[in-house]
Amino acid sequence: MFGDRRLTTVWTMACIGSGRLCARVEKLCQLGHNLQARRKASFVKFKELNLHQNARILPESCQAGRRAPGYSRHCRAISSMRTQQPGSQPQPQSVDPYVLLYDDLKHIYEDIREELQKNTKIPELQSIATYYFGGQGKALRPMVAILMARAINYHLYKENSLLAPQRQVAMISEMIHSASLIHDDVIDQSDIRRGKPSVNALWNHKKVAMAGDFILAVASMMIARLRNNDVTLTLSQVVTDLVQGEFMQLGSKETENERFAHYLTKTYRKTASLIANSVKATAMLAGADDALAEVVFQYGRNVGLAFQLVDDLLDFVSSSDAMGKPTAADLKLGLATAPVLFACEKYPELNPMIMRRFQEPGDVERAFELVHKSQGLEQTRFLARNHCIEAVRHASSLVESPYQKGLTVITDLVLNRMK
């Protein structure tokens, strides 16, 4: 329906002059994953898991019912993910992932806080480590992980169920995400996140960095408890990717082609790897074979790339009120993201600004203006949309179910989100 692999290359080539390079980069982004995928996996079988004492099958989501305390705040936080411009892609209107997964998600932050609190008796460490699990996040990563888990369970076994280890992966995914946000806030010295003072604005940065490590350590214990080597490797890959992605962000490249390649690899590592490997882990826990795990991974990779592209776009178009953080933040941090890299083609005067990381007076304002005058924002959206189409193509190969449809709806939310 959405074309074949050639289309991927064509749309990549269509949107930037350095298309062939970009397509090569796409391949590079997958390289690390493919090496992993080639290893023979010894998957835990779904039915065996059902019998395992830890593998409590959680009930199917009910659509109405009692709202948990704090749930309305959580809904407000995630409501901005809902479609802003309806109909950008054909979507099954009947499926609302937030409603569909209400029961699965309503206690997720509470469960994470509990997990963190039981692993330390130091009150300040508890406070810092649990600060970003107050329900203000969009919970995108657990939502996608659980949707995929349920879609795969239905695909393989026609089961309307979620395995307890799969829900653990959803929690682990959000924990790794939050640990990275904490480290990011320290590195960027940002004062505000999700419309609140950021963690480092409230506590000493040394303690904050250690709290981030603590979250990662507790997440590692949870991974170990899954007792599945392939899942352990898959989720550990995420942390190495995150660190490398952030590291890459500190450097810059001389030529335009090198820069775009660098940006795409960084984007995969910094954002897409977590979503791709988390959904893959849920599929592995269901007993998916290598081919199915790859389909699932590609869905997550494309959603993740689209998500970051839109994030980079919103930095230029959204208000700081909507985003809960300052706008043009990337330029101020010296970062040249997709809108700037595209704008460079029309306005080469951006090149020296990129090289000096927008440090000279007036650079940020001028770059901001040139991006808006160029086609950079449209080209970024085009690229994001095509990654969403690719994600939908992968989701379409799963057996139809509300969860499988939900995976398609997610791409629309990602593309049209306001924050």
| Residues in touch with ligand GRG (CB under 6 A) | 137-138, 140, 176, 179-181, 183-184, 187, 194, 216, 239, 242-243, 246, 270-271, 308, 311
Cβ–Cβ under 8 Å, residues 18 and 264: no
CB of 284 to ligand GRG, least distance (A): 21
Comparison of 116 and 239: residue with beta carbon closer to ligand GRG = 239
Rounded to a whole number of angstroms, the minimum distance from the CB of residue 329 to ligand GRG is 11
Minimum CB distance to ligand GRG, residue 82 (Å): 14
Reference 183, options 122, 236, 247; nearest CA is 247
Q: Measured between alpha carbons, how far is residue 252 from residues 306, 353, 365, 380 in Å? A: 22, 12, 20, 20
Query: Sign of torsion, CA 310 257 389 144?
Result: negative
What pairs with residue 162 in β-bridges? 58
- DSSP summary character for residue 45: P
Distances (CA, A) of 305 to 106, 186, 213, 336, 338: 27, 24, 25, 16, 11
Q: Which of 277, 271, 282, 284 is nearest to 298 (CA)?
A: 277
| Chain residue whose CB lies nearest ligand GRG | 137
Least distance from C-beta 384 to ligand GRG, angstroms? 13
What's the N-to-C CA distance of the chain in angstroms? 30
Q: How far is the CB of 3 from ligand GRG (least distance, A)?
A: 28
- Judge contact between 203 and 128, C-beta under 8 A: yes
- Nearer to ligand GRG by Cβ, of 43 and 133: the residue is 133
Q: Which is nearer to ligand GRG, 140 or 303 (CB)?
A: 140
For the bound state, the minimum distance from the C-beta of residue 169 to ligand GRG, rounded and expressed in Å, comes to 16
Residue type (1 letter), 41: A
CB closer to ligand GRG out of 277 and 308 = 308
Rounded Cα distance between 84 and 418, Å, is: 7
Indicate the residue among 247 and 356 with the shorter CB distance to ligand GRG.
247
Residue 23 C-beta: closest distance to ligand GRG, Å: 24
Residue closer to ligand GRG, measured from CB, 183 or 394: 183
| Token digits of residue 266 | 């960084």
Nearer to ligand GRG, 180 or 298 (CB): 180
193 has which bridge partners? Answer: 196
Tell me how far CA of residue 287 lies from CA of 46, 50, 181, 396, in angstroms: 6, 12, 31, 19
Q: Which is nearer to ligand GRG, 184 or 412 (CB)?
A: 184
Q: How far is the CB of 245 from ligand GRG (least distance, A)?
A: 6
- Min separation Cβ 113 and ligand GRG, Å: 15
C-alpha–C-alpha distance, residues 251 and 368, integer Å: 21
* Burial tier of 201 (Cβ tally within 10 Å: 0-12, 13-18, 19+): middle
Separation between Cα atoms, residue 136 and residue 134, nearest integer Å: 6
Q: How many residues does the chain have?
A: 419
Nearer Cβ to ligand GRG, position 128 or 216? Answer: 216
Query: Closer CB to ligand GRG, residue 63 or residue 320?
Result: 320
Cα 43 from chain centroid (whole Å): 25
CB of residue 136 to ligand GRG, shortest distance in Å: 7
